[in-house]
């Protein structure tokens, strides 16, 4: 029996109609030739919250600790989780200018999840024809439509 965790590739995206406004998030998970699409949304949110939520929901959906390559078109998400978060935690969830970190609830949730999984965070240019990113974008828009936004 093989108990080695499978490497998982995840593409995430967030969308928002207005900022703030109705929003959606989407994620495409791929492993061993299988694909899983997930999406959802909120009635009143921001684009950044949806980007974070997409990564959180994707990682939450994994059944066991796994090595993951996560692709995002959000520099906010990638820079936040790979760089800025260390200082925020040291500063008691405040920025360098001593302001509360925006979306701290989601950053904390994401920080907790990455202690369970080994995540390699990769940035990909959005709307540039990358099939995984295009799928995640479509799913995010679907999640937004579920909130009643065309």
> What's the pTM value of the predicted model, to 2 decimals?
0.94
Q: In this predicted model, what pLDDT tens digit does every residue of 66-102 receive, in sequence order?
A: 999 999 999 999 999 999 999 999 999 999 999 999 9
Q: Where are the domains of the chain?
A: 8-145
Domain 8-145, CATH:
3.30.420.10
Of the residues 11, 14, 132, 143, only one is catalytic, namely 14
Dihedral, 60, 101, 126, 134 alpha carbons, nearest 10: 30
- Other residues' Cβ atoms within 10 Å of the Cβ of residue 7: 14
Could you tell me which of 137, 149, 126, 146 has the C-alpha nearest to residue 14? 137
13: annotated active-site residue: yes
Q: Which residues pair with 94 in a beta bridge?
A: 100
In this prediction, residue 1 carries a pLDDT of: 44
Which of 73, 80, 132, 143 is catalytic? The answer is 73
86 annotated active-site: no
Q: Is 14 a catalytic residue?
A: yes
127 counts as catalytic: yes
Span 99-146, pLDDT tens digits: 999 999 999 999 999 999 999 999 999 989 999 999 999 999 999 998
């Amino acid at each position: 029996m093989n108990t080695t965790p499978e490497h998982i590739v995840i593409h995430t995206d967030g969308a928002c109609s207005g900022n703030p406004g109705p929003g959606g998030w989407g994620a495409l998970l791929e492993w061993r030739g299988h694909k899983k699409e997930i999406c959802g949304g909120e009635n009143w949110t921001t684009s950044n919250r949806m980007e974070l939520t997409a990564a959180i929901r994707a990682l939450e959906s994994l059944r066991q600790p796994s090595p993951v390559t996560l692709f995002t078109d959000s520099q906010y998400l990638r820079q936040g989780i790979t760089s800025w978060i260390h200082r925020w935690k040291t500063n008691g969830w405040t920025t360098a200018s001593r302001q509360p970190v925006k979306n701290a609830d989601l950053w904390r949730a994401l920080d907790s999840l990455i202690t369970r999984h080994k995540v390699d965070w990769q940035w990909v240019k959005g709307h540039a024809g990358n099939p995984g990113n295009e799928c995640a974008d479509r799913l995010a828009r679907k999640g937004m439509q579920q909130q009643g936004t065309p």
